[in-house]
Amino acid sequence: MGILPQSQQIRNKWPDHRMIKDARKRNTIKDYGVYKLRYNAIRKNDIIPSEIQEIADKEIYNCPKDASIVRIVQRCQVTSRPRGNVKRWRLSRIIFRHLADYNKLAGVQRAMW
C-alpha cells in the first residue's frame, strides 16, 4: 500500500467494511450481552416456574441478534484477515511475525538458535 491520492479520504479507522461490522457487533455485545446471558440462564433453568421462563423467552426475542457472542468473527485488527489469528494480540500470524521481527510487540521475541 502506498500513499493515498489526495482525492481519497480515510473515512474511519478500520481497514474495510467487515471490520466496521465487527466493531458494531462488539459494541452490541458490550451493551446487551450480559442481559442475554442472564435471560438464557433463566430460560434453561428447570427449577424456575414456566411463567418466568416464558418471560425470559420473550426478553431474549427482544434482544438484538448481534448480542450473541457466537456472531463475532475473530479478525486481525490491521488487515481484517479472518484466519490465522493470534488471539492474545488480535493480529494475524503474518502481521504478528512482522511486528515480532522488528521488536514492536512488548514481551515477544523471535526464536533464534
Report the alpha-carbon distance of residue 83 to residue 95 in Å, rounded.
12
Tally of CB atoms within 10 A around 40: 16
Residue 41 has pLDDT above 80, yes or no: yes
Convert the pLDDT of each residue in 68-107 to its tens digit.
889 899 999 999 999 999 999 999 999 999 999 888 988 8
Instruction: Give the mean model confidence (pLDDT) for residues 20-40.
Output: 93
CA angle 35, 37, 50 (to 5 degrees): 95
Residue among 92, 85, 84, 74 at smallest CA distance from 19? 74
* Residue 13 or 82, more confident: 82
CA angle 54, 67, 38 (to 5 degrees): 45
What's residue 103's pLDDT? 86
As a whole-number percent, the residues of the chain with pLDDT over 70 amount to 88
Residue 64 has pLDDT above 60, yes or no: yes
Convert the pLDDT of each residue in 81-91 to its tens digit.
999 999 999 99
> What's the whole-number average pLDDT of the chain?
87
**What domains can you pick out in the chain, each with its CATH number?**
14-73 (1.10.287.1480), 75-113 (4.10.830.10)
All three cell numbers of 72 = 463475532
pTM of this prediction exceeds 0.85: no
Report the alpha-carbon distance of residue 32 to residue 63 in Å, rounded.
7
